[in-house]
A and B are shown apart, each in its own frame.
Chain A
Amino acid sequence: MQVTTREHLTAWLDGLARHLTLIAPKTVEQRVLYRPVADSSEIAFDFARTDLPVKEHFLPPTHVLLSIEKGKEGVRLGEPSPERERVVFGLRPCDARALRVLDALFLKEPADPYYAERREKTTLVGLACREMGEQCFCTSLGLAPDEAGDVDVMLTVMEEGRGGEEGRRYAVQVMTEKGAAILGVLNLEKVEGALPVPAAGSKTPVLEAGAWPRLFDHAYWARLADRCLSCRLCTYVCPTCRCFDVRDYEVPCEGASSGGASNGSAPGGRIERLRAWDSCMAEGYRRIAGGHNPRLTKGDRLRNRLYCKFCYYPQDYGPVACVGCGRCIARCPVNVDVVEVLADVATL
């Protein structure tokens, strides 16, 4: 097995940050988020799980799809400039698996070029989990806290070496050619030993996709949704939720995107077509022109969200659209607990 130390890791990361965008866990006020960092000193090496998933760097909360310029010569459409090469450091296996889940949809023909480009230009350096968190349930979905198959390089924290933090050792597994290429001059040492095995957590039964339809009209969903606030945060903190909205906006003269109000466009102006996160949990999400709303009640919407994850997505694209990260469990203000729901559903 190959190992490196924290000291060597930080030197390597500093080198990477000089010629590409390094995205790593960073403490932002009271939260830990995957953020671009200038160098390794900004990285929060000891963290459990980031508060937002890495998806925000592949499906950004807001980004430009196209620019539209109306000039005397007519209308000209433009696409955004190419993305920079990036490395994501410290990616947990659940978030890495979530990218595979999103791949099944976004890389399916016709592929989403914005997602595809970010995926292609990003090397994933994972950090295995030594143990599962209190809300984690990745193993119930066939994942493992140390799953290395979804990243390019997997690091696993070993015991502290001599010299405190600096000496802390990491096992290094090179999983892909892309991973091998990025390692470059990282100082590696061959040692005897085995990777630590994470403690096995308890598993919750997850009904397979075909078993969900018969429960669709059950009274359970309306009761569960009584306390739901339609606050939508579950979809935003979720690593696999991806619904989006698209709208055009005039760009102010300075050239900076404002996402601001527009009910038309001035001739000779520049317009951006923006894509932004949206959520199926909002009341008006499915309302069509004329006012008809097929998902009028909270029960309809909450049921749809859970069915989308465990029944529809696997039927349409293959994987279950949940990786057991537990963020929705941690953040739901009214304790809609998907593990509890899965356990309930198995007995309905």
Chain B
Amino acid sequence: MASNNPYLPYLGTLVGVRDLATGVKMFQVALDDPGERADFTYQPGQFAFVSAFGVGEAPFGLASTALRGPVLEFAVNRVGTVTDALHRLGEGDVVGVRGPFGNWFALDEMKGKDVILLGGGIGGAPLRPVIHTMLDQRADYGRLTILWAARLPSLLIFTDEFDDWRAAPDTALHVTVDQGDEAWTGDVGLITELLEKVAPAPENAVTITCGPPIMIKNTLLTLKRLGFSPDQMIVTLEAKMKCGIGKCGRCNLGEKFVCTDGPVFSCAEIGKFLESF
């Protein structure tokens, strides 16, 4: 059987664990085997399974980009047994990593265009490598507009990077929360309301949306109203998965599998889905 077993994870060590938001932690994983580390090449948009040995594994979008180093980063929201087990781990603990899986954002096709990124809650995680890539290759892309949202201020992720993002040339960051708190002085309202306010122009533009299903659906409707065509609207979807390689049958939407045909889809493709996500 040996090494061509797609169910066999790589072993990795947690080299960093930090809080990102209430119930959300950032895990930095360094794969133990140098050969595996070198082989693990991935693109923004792809995902990997992270194992909390003894409980199980779950899929997480890769929140890092190889452009900035070999350490793999995952933003993990504590919602179930696997994520709970991961949250109990600390630096030095061993995890498993299987991947990278799925397709990725066609960033090359976005060069020269204006890019609008919409991240809701933990959905912002797969957009982070896109932001990093575009900031690191700033001249290749047009105007960058980031809309960031969460239910509460304490649930906003990557707040420690907001200054960096804002500081980049021709880059705007707009943040909103569904519900503010005493300290919050920013916008309050849904991301769709913020989107209407910002009203980015659809000409020569492309959008990427990620967040809870209801947020994605409403955002796409709003983008459509603002004049964006289905091909200009990219999303990345979440599904319950057990294998990541199209075998377990769980993540299908019609004849498409989120793990192998996605998780990145255009609105045009989703429009052809038999099933709603």
A residues sitting closer than 8 Å to B (CB atoms) are: 65-66, 68, 70, 74-75, 77, 79-80, 82, 105-106, 108, 110-114, 117, 213, 216, 242-248, 250, 262-265, 269, 271, 273, 278, 280, 285-290, 292, 294-295, 300, 304, 307-308, 311-312, 315-316
Contacts and interface: CB of A to CB of B under 8 A. Distances in A.
A77 B55 contact: no
Contact of A245 (B2, B52, B242): B242
B56 interface: yes
Contact of A106 (B53, B54, B79, B247): B247
Interface stretch (B4-12, B188-196, B221-229): B4-12
B85 to A, nearest CB: 6
A280 B250 CA distance: 7
17 contacts: A77-B96, A79-B8, A110-B4, A112-B247, A113-B1, A117-B1, A245-B242, A245-B248, A248-B54, A250-B54, A263-B55, A271-B53, A286-B240, A290-B79, A304-B275, A312-B255, A316-B255
Contacts of A248: 51-57
Nearest to A247: B56
A243 B240 CA distance: 13
Contacts of A117: 1
Contact of A264 (B6, B55, B253, B255): B55
Nearest to A213: B274
Contacts of B277: 294
Contacts of A315: 255
Nearest to A209: B255
B276 interface: yes
A246 B248 contact: yes
A292 B239 CA distance: 10
A244 B241 CA distance: 10
Contacts of A295: 275
Most buried by A among B57, B250, B277: B250
B245 A110 contact: yes
B81 interface: yes
Given A70-B53, A250-B54, A287 B8 contact: no
A307 B254 contact: yes
B10 to A, nearest CB: 9
A259 to B, nearest CB: 13
Contact of A79 (B5, B57, B77, B85): B5
B249 interface: yes
The interface size bin for chain B is: 35 or more
A113 B56 contact: no
Given A77-B11, A79-B8, A289 B252 contact: no
B114 interface: no
A287 B243 contact: no
Nearest to B85: A264
B128 to A, nearest CB: 19
Nearest to A287: B240
Nearest to B254: A312
Nearest to A77: B8
A320 B248 CA distance: 17
A79 B249 CA distance: 23
A300 B53 CA distance: 34
Interface in B231-277: 238-240, 242-243, 245-250, 252-255, 257, 274-277
Contacts of B5: 79, 113
B252 A312 contact: yes
A292 B213 contact: yes
A309 to B, nearest CB: 11
Contacts of A264: 54-55, 85, 88
A113 B54 contact: no
B75 interface: no
Nearest to A274: B56
B102 to A, nearest CB: 13
B52 to A, nearest CB: 8
A108 B252 CA distance: 17
A65 B7 contact: yes
Contacts of A242: 247, 249
B252 A75 contact: no
A77 B246 CA distance: 23
Contacts of A75: 11, 53, 94
A246 B243 contact: yes
B212 interface: yes
A105 B247 contact: yes
Contacts of B77: 289
B53 to A, nearest CB: 5
A285 to B, nearest CB: 7
Nearest to A246: B242
Nearest to B93: A75
A244 B242 CA distance: 8
B272 to A, nearest CB: 9
Contacts of A300: 275
B249 A280 contact: yes
B80 interface: yes
B22 to A, nearest CB: 15
Nearest to B240: A288
B254 A246 contact: no
A341 B275 CA distance: 20
Given A77-B8, A243-B248, A312-B255, A289 B54 contact: no
A105 B257 CA distance: 13
B243 A288 contact: no
